[in-house]
Amino acid sequence: MRAPVLHCYRWKQNQSYINVYNAMTHYAQDVARELCCEALWILSHTPVYTLGANAPWPLLYDSTIPVYRTGRGGLITFHGPEQRMIYPFIHVKYREFRVTEYVNTLEQWIIRLLISLGIQGQQVSERRGVWVHDKKIASLGIQIKQHIAFHGMALNLYTPSNAFLKISPCGLQKKFGITSLEQLGAHLHQEEIDGLIWKYCPFR
């Protein structure tokens, strides 16, 4: 395989999850076949609930919002316009990543971004994602197929919607909450946050 080149693509308008999911699946296959370069997709979704591959169907959720089962790990979560999705397509075998190392790299990516904004994020070994005290600011779920890691992370930009609060996101107990950049005093335009996501990307 030739040395990886990472291309960055960003969408300003909210995107349908199912359309992006199908596109991600095909793009990951093309990266595995060396038909496409590694990539980073940055976007936001129209409101949607997603389930991990083995997650049980939720008992409580907003029935006006679609629910899709995916190939990623993890349980149920909500995605919407108040988040920025970070979807890297990375050849983990070529880059010699073990799964845990790759996940740690993703979390450290967000932590470095938060530090640049004066926010102290942290990793918690028994609870994946990025945390500020006992509140989650970024969730994480990946799938690896043919040595290509895809799916990725959701960074909370704004106050979570009621749809988020109706579920137990990622299987969290109620003692753990959700927070956002806005709630922590960081008010950024979409272009600014996208620029920081790219700036601190560890795969460039």
Is 95 annotated for ligand binding? no
Distances (CA, A) of 82 to 45, 71, 151: 9, 23, 18
Residue in 8, 36, 37, 170 annotated catalytic: 170
Is 195 annotated for ligand binding? no
Is 157 annotated for ligand binding? no
Is 140 annotated for ligand binding? yes
The tokens for 160 are: 């979570």
The two beta strands, 135-145 and 148-156, are: antiparallel
170 catalytically annotated? yes
Is 71 annotated for ligand binding? no
Is 117 annotated for ligand binding? no
Is 129 annotated for ligand binding? no
Binding-site sequence positions? 72-79, 139-141, 152-154
Binding-site sequence positions for substrate? 72-79, 139-141, 152-154
Looking at the annotation, which residues are catalytic? 170
